[in-house]
Amino acid sequence: MEARVRDTGHTTHLQTCLLHNNRRITRCSGRLRKGGNCVFRAIGSFRPGMMPTCQIHRHQLRRIGWCQAPLSCGFECGRMCEWKPHGFQLCFDHREHPMTCYFLKIPIEMRLRIYQFLLPDRDVPARYEKSSLASDGGGVHTSILCVNRQIHDEATGLLYRTRSFSIELIDDWLSMCNSSQNGSSSNNHHALDNHRLQQMSPGLVMARQGPRVLGGVSNSAYTPTIRSNKCLAFDANASVEPVWDPTLSERYFNMIQSFRIEIVLPSLGAWWLPNSGPANDRASMSRLLNYCDHLHRLVGRLRLIRKPIARLEIVIKLDSAYFNQGDAFPIARFLLRPFWRLHNVAKPGLRLTTIQGSWGEVELLTSDWASSPAGGKLSAYTEHLFEHMSGSQSPPELPVFTAYWQLENLLSYLRKHCRDTDPKIEKIAGLLYTARFAREVEDLAHFRMIWNQVVDIWFDCLNERVQFQSNVVLLINAICGTVQNGS
């Protein structure tokens, strides 16, 4: 309850001023179950500092406040009212009375300085853990964002436009602002229902499918009713670009101008190395491609920001037990491929480190890192990449990239509508591994070969279904003939 210090003159004025007539009956502050206020007289406050209620609503506890509306006599109203946070305390009679917020009378430069003491003044990590968001180790007071709209807009503008926000990718988890999401659960953002099979050439479909004629001649006079399932129409022009859906709202995410992308690769044994021969581990390569999938989703979300990104720092952290400097550079190049789809980045940067356990992290991009052959290739690659990312023109979407996500959406659609586990559908799923690699290396010719295999597998599946339907018709005819001859 607010501390109310009243001198003798103030008390005398409240007793004699007609504007402060408090002799009215005190009504119960309780709320009815059907809505509305209680009309009974209040007995009193059943707990100190709480609004008075009747006997029925004694369990409804509402903090007491005192109306701050100024009257013509020069004093505050002082009438009892329900206390509400982030606002002036006003009674029912003065609820529409305009009040002056003297904080907003302060120059904007001083208000922004005050916000800096209340909000985080250091970069916001992806996972807070035990670290403080304040440089002095103290706490932050984000409740100021709830005072009113103007203060909220000023404070959020300072917070999201001046601080760098980290996004961490480790295995299948994307973390931001102390909230993690499983990357594999974001399939609903791939427009799964926006791909249609009619995108294939009609001539190719008819040629491969052939005439669909059911074998067997029916001697039955009974004509069965064939129920046709209505399928939802597909939008051929809908975007299939994968987009990550962060827990932070779209409005605040689009206000951020500085990002730090942390890619953490734990110790998983032998990782795939480009051009290292036939001893590549397929499972390790698949995990590396999974990282690229999540990075494409993240880049797809960054592309939705209309304003230029002031700074984008890419940090790749490798486990020191399995990576050395010669191995790290080819892996870093491969993980940087999804960032070719970005533009309007004023200041891109790259850090490559190894995790040394309790010793912390060791920087691999030292002053002499470019002298090695692998380092020289990475240096030239990043220089060309950052020059491309700093450009203002949006890069054209590669056909192999769009085709891959259309293939993945097609497979999801087939799995959704094929209730039984069809081995041929799973065979198509097995081709996604090779298709993902063709997507990353931008090999459209190789992807076209994979697509031809997918089409062949699908029409083999259709032919089997046609043969199955033909056999079922023959069995139906035989049963109908037996029933009719028996009568």
Q: How far apart are CA 473 and CA 217, in angstroms?
A: 9
pLDDT tens digits, residue range 215-264? 444 444 444 444 445 555 555 555 577 899 998 999 999 999 999 999 99
Q: How confident is the model at residue 483 (pLDDT cuts 50, 70, 90)?
A: confident
CA Rg value for the chain: 34
Q: Point out which residues pair with 309 in neighbouring strands.
A: 345
Provide the percentage of residues in the chain whose pLDDT is more than 70: 76
Identify the pLDDT of residue 2. Answer: 41
Amino acid in the structure at residue 61? L
Question: What are the structural domain ranges in the chain?
Answer: 1-99, 103-162, 250-395, 401-486
Residue 117, classed as helix, strand or coil, is helix
Instruction: Give the pLDDT of residue 341.
Output: 92
**pTM: predicted TM-score of the whole model, two decimal places:** 0.70
**DSSP letters along 130-165, please?**
T--SSTTS----GGGGGS-HHHHHHHHHHHHHHSEE
CA distance 54 to 44: 7
| Angle separating helix axes 149-162 and 108-118, nearest 10 degrees | 70
| DSSP helix/strand/coil, 477 | helix
Lowest mean pLDDT among 5-9, 318-322, 434-438: 5-9
pLDDT tens for residues 81-97? 888 776 778 887 777 77
Alpha helices by DSSP H, 33-129: 108-118
| Res. 213: pLDDT tops 60 | no
Q: Label residue 474 by pLDDT band (50, 70, 90).
A: confident
> What's the pLDDT score for residue 336?
94
103, 111 Cβ separation under 8 angstroms: yes
Per-residue model confidence as pLDDT tens digits over 289-343: 899 999 999 999 999 999 999 999 999 998 776 556 667 888 889 999 999 999 9
Which among 262, 244, 218, 263 is positioned nearest to 473, based on CA atoms? 218
Q: What is the mean pLDDT of residues 150-154?
A: 92
* CA within 13 Å, CB half, 142: 8
Q: Which of 101-110, 196-205, 282-291, 411-420 has the highest mean pLDDT?
A: 101-110
